[in-house]
Amino acid sequence: MKKVVLIAGDGIGTEITAAVVSILEKANAKVQWIEKKAGLAAHQESGNALPEDTVEAIKEHRIALKGPLTTPVGTGFRSVNVALRQQFNLYSNIRPARTLPNIDSPFKNVDMVIFRENTQGLYIGREHWIDEDTKNHAESIAVVTEAASRKIIKAAFEYARANGRKKVTLVHKANILKFTTGLFLEVGRSVAADYSDIEFEDLIVDNMAMQMVMRPQRFDVVVTTNLFGDILSDLASGLVGGLGVTGAANIGDDAAMFEAVHGSAPDIAGQNKANPLALLFSSLMMLEHIGQKQTAEDIRKAIYKTLVERKVYCTPDIGGEGTTSTFTQAVCDNI
């Protein structure tokens, strides 16, 4: 049994985590859940959105599965998601986007995995006003280091090699941001030299955005900096049906956190309408990470079978007429 910290989260979080837990149980996943709190619910209960015992549990068990957390806009506590990524140096954000059967999309045969650097770039939050009085001139600083770039790019190549992928595409803007993304590109070229079995190409981010909608099938593994990765990974999700059907992992050297990328959907919370697929796909990434690949594959097959044969049992966001419960039951029946 592998101990995994389970953070149900806010809004639809409890419904989708319950669905995922029962599907993994049905598939005989060797997982023992350690339930902990974070987010708005934790804040209301203890005044702390990221309680110390949740952090301690992740430190101890090193693997977490996390539902969506509500983050108040403008005021209140800062994003727990960002805090967890920083605290555990979860530098690889991994977002697969694969065409699913019976999910409506004009894009066919998409199968790409985006590796986004999760800790640097423009997202370090180093911003200031040039003139504090007028607040009409702001500046933001991006940080890129050779060490962090090497880690994420190596992670992308290692993933490609381990998963029989053929190509790594590095995305940058080195024609304009010559120092920061220029460094990222230079490191990419040097890492690529150690992986002669895998094709390497680099693309400028604007071209990449166009290519992704014109010929998404040409991409395999993609690696890029934080801001570009944030945008392109949502774009990639959009190609295959949206954030409700794509999973995500945040992986560091000492810990890994798997999560749905969508939010807590307060508009449908408690109505048995939430689609658990995104968190379910994230949990399959978790099973693969902890060495339970066959169980992940069994569940993946059951999901595909459900989408093909029992779409009517799926949730309304993907064109079904069912509920969280009917979808969960259908997947369990197909395992």
Binding site for ligand NAI (CB under 6 A): 12, 68-71, 81, 244, 259, 261-268, 274-275, 278, 315, 317
Asked if 222 contacts 168 with a C-beta cutoff of 8 angstroms, the reply is: yes
Residue with smaller CB distance to ligand NAI, 83 or 143: 83
Least separation in angstroms between CB 322 and ligand NAI: 12
Helix (H, G, I), strand (E, B) or coil at 2: strand
Asked if 249 contacts 289 with a C-beta cutoff of 8 angstroms, the reply is: yes
Q: Around Cβ 245, how many Cβ atoms within 10 Å?
A: 24
User: Hey, what amino acid is at 301?
Assistant: K
Residue with smaller CB distance to ligand NAI, 116 or 172: 116
10 is catalytic: no
Q: Give the CA angle between residues 273, 277, 31 to the nearest 5°.
A: 115
Least separation in angstroms between CB 222 and ligand NAI: 21
333 is catalytic: no
Helix (H, G, I), strand (E, B) or coil at 263: coil
Least separation in angstroms between CB 268 and ligand NAI: 4
Q: How far is CA 171 from CA 14, 148, 200, 237, in A?
A: 36, 16, 11, 17
298 is catalytic: no
Instruction: Retrieve residue 182's tokens.
Output: 């220029």
Residues 6+ apart with CB under 8 A from 312: 320, 321, 322
Residue with smaller CB distance to ligand NAI, 156 or 245: 245
317 is catalytic: no
Asked if 99 contacts 43 with a C-beta cutoff of 8 angstroms, the reply is: no
The residue annotated as part of the active site, out of 10, 26, 37, 123, is 123
Least separation in angstroms between CB 250 and ligand NAI: 10
Asked if 278 contacts 245 with a C-beta cutoff of 8 angstroms, the reply is: yes
Residue with smaller CB distance to ligand NAI, 187 or 279: 279
Asked if 77 contacts 43 with a C-beta cutoff of 8 angstroms, the reply is: yes
Least separation in angstroms between CB 24 and ligand NAI: 17
CA proximity to 299, closest of 24, 37, 76, 69: 24
The set of catalytic residues is 123, 173, 206, 230
